[in-house]
Amino acid sequence: MHTHDVVVVGAGLAGMRAAIAAHEAGVDVALVTKIHPVRSHSGAAQGGINAALGNETEDSTDNHTFDTVKGSDYLGDQDAIEILCGDAPGEIIQLEHWGAVFSRHETTGKIAQRPFGGAGFPRTCYAADLTGLVILHTLYTVCVKYEIPCYEEYFVTELITDDDGACCGVVAYDMVHGTIETIGAKAVVLATGGAGRVYAPSTNAHASTGDGMSLALRAGVPLKDMEFMQFHPTTLSPSGVLVTEGARGEGGILLNNQGERFMSKYAPNKLELASRDVVSRSEATEILEGRGVNGCVMLDLRHLGKEKIMERLPQIRELAMAFAGVDPIEAPIPIRPGAHYHMGGVHVDSWGAAPHMSGLFAAGECACVSVHGANRLGGNSLLEAVVFGARTGDAAARFVHDGNGNAGAAKPEHALEYEKKLRGLLERTQGTPQHEIRDPLADMMQEKVGVFRNGDDLNAARKVVDDLKEKVPTMVISDKGRTFNQSLIHAIETGFLVDLADCMVEGAIARTESRGAHSRTDFPERDDEKWMKHSLSYLEDGKVRLDYSEVTMTKFEPQVRTY
Amino acid sequence: MPQTTFDIFRYQPDFADESYRQSYALDHEPELTILDAVLRLQNEQDGTLAVRYSCRSAICGSCACRVNGKTVLACMTQVEDVKKEFGSDTVQVDPIGNFAPIKDLVVDMDPFWEKFKSVKPFLVPDGPAPEKERIVSKEAMQKIYNESKCILCAACYSECNSFAADEEFVGPAAFVWGYRFAGDERDGQRKARAKLYSGQHGVWDCTRCMYCNERCPKGVDPRDAIEKLGGIAFNEGISWADSGARHAKAFLISVRTGGKLNETLLVPFTAPIQSQMDMPFALRMLRKGKAPSPIPHRVKKRSEVNKLMKNVKETI
């Protein structure tokens, strides 16, 4: 058994940034992650990270705040968004000081910035189209420098709570050595990323199974705004591989099968750079009304020219060639909307603390502060990960410094108890294989809980989720060994995914309005009177119970949203 | 619908001490990557099959493996392309080379991460940080851009001949990261890094087989980074202290003066003491006609050679 002051579960941008902050605050912090830190999905973020540096044109954090509030369709908490945008320049400068290889302005040598969707100014800092990779690597090098201990390929299976219900550690499966371990902690930070794999296709990595959210949910902590899944407007078919918004930021245009630049109908001012929910809905409408090409529309970059594509979007070219067989210098890329980013997550305050459980914190996509509300702006996810990663790491350290936390309540027996549960699972020889639950779930979510939703589809979705939920306890694992048992991990992840889908569907059924990424054809208008509130999903006796909480408004009154 | 036989390396430490091979047949759509094939086998035929993977879009670096002996990222390699290239419906899948297996395609990467950490892979700037970002020209940042693309997949170590011969060789990806910092004008440790990366198992131990450049799935060109680190070592003036560097220097002097390589000169330059002890052996070889003449042979058109050398220098 191991013990640390702070244990951070997940080692992407938010997790590593939290660990670095906690380390700098002088506590003993360790990372626990099911994949090596540099494998984290933050590395797949391409286009950039927003901060009102004003390196291209004048800009201000107020502008950034307004754009984010508007982008959120007024569901984001404005006090938290002010923090996000206010801390942004400082965090970017800090990353630069740590060595991040940001692309530079031609003449000034400052960090270059490009236009992005839903933003009034070129505000997105970038490293070609590898921004996430470069920042992920930068944070990893800082973790190496600080010698922050990292439990690599440890899959966390449960949160441990003490008699007062405070979080005091985790149980984890050490994949390489095949053992179950207890890791005690005074504070636990969940930073396990998104749950995009609830859907297929998805831009998300196979590892993005929302583990942290489900761990919290099962421990009695509510999840917030789970009905809001963002569909990215440009993903490759059939794989779902992401094509950055930077492609449109650099001037890429969207065409239908008539060769028409259809965004002029839906967002006459911002065109392709309207917010993501707007662009995805426009594409879906074109495709539904028969103006698509094999279920896609076309992203045309040809007019940018070879040189600009090679300099600013080299990875996009590589991916389009490898996964769609198209060289964007020569031909338009067929793309379609695909599940990409989950606005919902573990309900936390603006210090990343879960109000329902002492000692538990969350940051990044796994958390819901909420800064993205009903729709996230491109370039704000990496930003949230570092800004709230840092704040959460600080807060967890402060929690420990103030004498809180009960790491001693985590005992080796917790691992042994879990071991007993596992034995049942491992010994079972008849039942449902995990992919017979996971695959139909993900296909169904895409079909019934997609870009457009309606009551009938959502009720059908509820039925499928209920059926699959019943199969979860009957799952059978074909690998009976201890070492690197992926069959076991997939089964546990599948259980997590079903929980999360349940919350998403219940939240979507209840919310009888259209806001941001949640678009109901049977309730096409935003209803501020009834629905300007966050949903909270609790898991009680295996069923989702919904509750609601207020949205914080400071400066910006809700307006009709046009782009 | 194409049918493919996958011949996969198996190592199941919980059930057998020895590794073995296993064949699986799969009917599939023409569009299928090696990774998706293995994942389908895992789901549909054999849940014990293990493979590291995550992003499936060639950026996380998890899924490097050898396909028909060639190191690739499984997620960006199409099964049908491999079959066409090798003219066979059977595709062999093996873990990356030069690392011990943990299970099937999963290998022990600890030595790789240790090597990465050994090059001090973090920025150590001179002096305190300014209030805003450091000003760096676009061109200066561009110099380390190629190295910043490295995804640490270890494909280069799988192919590295020096690493195969010497497990302590620091190796290609780690040196990519070495150059990523030594070549970063914000870093203040250029000289210390040049020294750290020289010596035994260092940059001079690369055999220049170029496999790392050839097989890097991201076009990072690790050998070029090693070469650039050699250049930095020269410029930082530490070359005489290091036998590898002396060896390289002897190359240079020999070509500059004689227009071609004088191999006899290399030995005393590279290992002055050892070469004296080996003198009787060298004389015996010479007597038997097994050693090249110690009197340098000059090429006719040295001006051509000098022009080439100048070109090379300008491009570095």
- CATH number of the CATH domain containing B179: 1.10.1060.10
Query: So what's the pLDDT on residue A235?
Result: 97
Q: Residues A38, B113: contact at Cβ < 8 Å?
A: no
B186 and B261: one domain?
no
B96 and B175: one domain?
no
As a whole number of angstroms, the distance between CA A63 and CA A58 comes to 10
Query: So what's the pLDDT on residue B315?
Result: 63
For A173, the enclosing helix (H) or strand (E) is strand A167-174
- CATH number of the CATH domain containing B35: 3.10.20.30
B86 and B138: one domain?
no
In DSSP notation, A251-305 reads: T-EEE-TT---THHHH-TTTGGGS-HHHHHHHHHHHHHTT-SBTTBEEEE-GGGH
B230 and B119: one domain?
yes
Domain that holds residue B291: 243-315
Query: So what's the pLDDT on residue B296?
Result: 65
Which candidate, A419, A411, A416, places its Cα nearest to that of A482? A419
B148 with A127: Cβ contact below 8 A:
yes
What angle, rounded to 10 degrees, do the helices at B110-118 and B172-182 form?
A: 30
Nearest chain B residue to A140 by CA: give it: B122
Query: So what's the pLDDT on residue B209?
Result: 97
B178 and B248: one domain?
no
Residue A527 to residues A75, A273, A433, A531, B312: CA-CA distances in angstroms? 11, 25, 42, 6, 68
B230 and B247: one domain?
no
Query: So what's the pLDDT on residue A77?
Result: 98
Nearest-5° Cα angle at B167, B166 to B172: 90
B69 and B114: one domain?
no
End-of-domain residue from the set B190, B213, B235 = B235
Q: Residues B56, A206: contact at Cβ < 8 Å?
A: yes
As a whole number of angstroms, the distance between CA A18 and CA A364 comes to 10
Which candidate, B27, B25, B33, places its Cα nearest to that of B8? B25
**How many structural domains are present in chain B?**
3
pLDDT means over runs of 10, chain A (563 residues): 97 98 98 98 96 96 97 98 98 98 97 93 95 98 98 98 98 97 98 98 97 98 98 94 94 97 97 96 97 96 96 93 94 97 98 98 98 97 98 98 97 97 91 96 97 98 98 95 97 98 98 98 98 98 97 96 92
Query: So what's the pLDDT on residue B239?
Result: 67
Cβ-Cβ contacts under 8 Å between A and B: the total is 152
B252 and B209: one domain?
no
As a whole number of angstroms, the distance between CA A401 and CA A395 comes to 10
Confidence class for position B307, pLDDT limits 50, 70, 90: confident
For A102, the enclosing helix (H) or strand (E) is none
**Is some CB atom of chain B closer than 8 A to the CB atom of A319?**
yes
Q: Which residue's structure tokens are 């031909």?
A: A331
Task: Pick the catalytic residue from A123, A197, A276, A391.
Answer: A276
Confidence class for position B282, pLDDT limits 50, 70, 90: confident
Provide the token pair at A120. Answer: 């009034």
A contacts of B135 (beta carbons < 8 Å): 108-110
As a whole number of angstroms, the distance between CA B65 and CA A321 comes to 21
Q: Mutate which of A92, A103, A174, A206 to test chain B, going by most B C-beta atoms within 10 A?
A: A206
First to last CA, chain A: 55
Q: Mutate which of B14, B60, B123, B126 to test chain A, going by most A C-beta atoms within 10 A?
A: B60
B311 and B206: one domain?
no
Q: Is A119 exposed, middle or buried (0-12, 13-18, 19+ CB in 10 A)?
A: buried
pLDDT digits (tens, 9 = 90+) for B263-274: 777 888 888 888
B137 with A133: Cβ contact below 8 A:
no
**Do the bridges between strand A223-224 and strand A345-347 make them parallel or antiparallel, or are there none, so unpaired?**
antiparallel
Strand partners, A410: none
Query: So what's the pLDDT on residue A53?
Result: 97
End-of-domain residue from the set B84, B107, B130 = B107
Confidence class for position B238, pLDDT limits 50, 70, 90: confident
B102 and B128: one domain?
no
ipTM value, please give it.
Answer: 0.96
Confidence class for position B298, pLDDT limits 50, 70, 90: confident
B165 and B196: one domain?
yes
Which candidate, B226, B196, B197, B194, places its Cα nearest to that of B210? B226
Average pLDDT along chain B: 93
Provide the token pair at B97. Answer: 């080379």
Q: Is the dihedral of CA A49, A50, A52, A57 positive or negative?
A: positive
Say whether A281 is catalytic.
no
B103 and B115: one domain?
no
Query: Cis ω on the peptide bond leading into residue A201 (within 30° of 0)?
Result: yes
Q: Dihedrals φ, ψ of A179, to 5°?
A: -110, 160
pLDDT digits (tens, 9 = 90+) for B83-130: 999 999 999 999 999 999 999 999 999 999 999 999 999 999 998 999
Provide the token pair at A155. Answer: 């899959």
Confidence class for position B316, pLDDT limits 50, 70, 90: low
- pTM (2 decimals)? 0.96
End-of-domain residue from the set B235, B262, B280 = B235
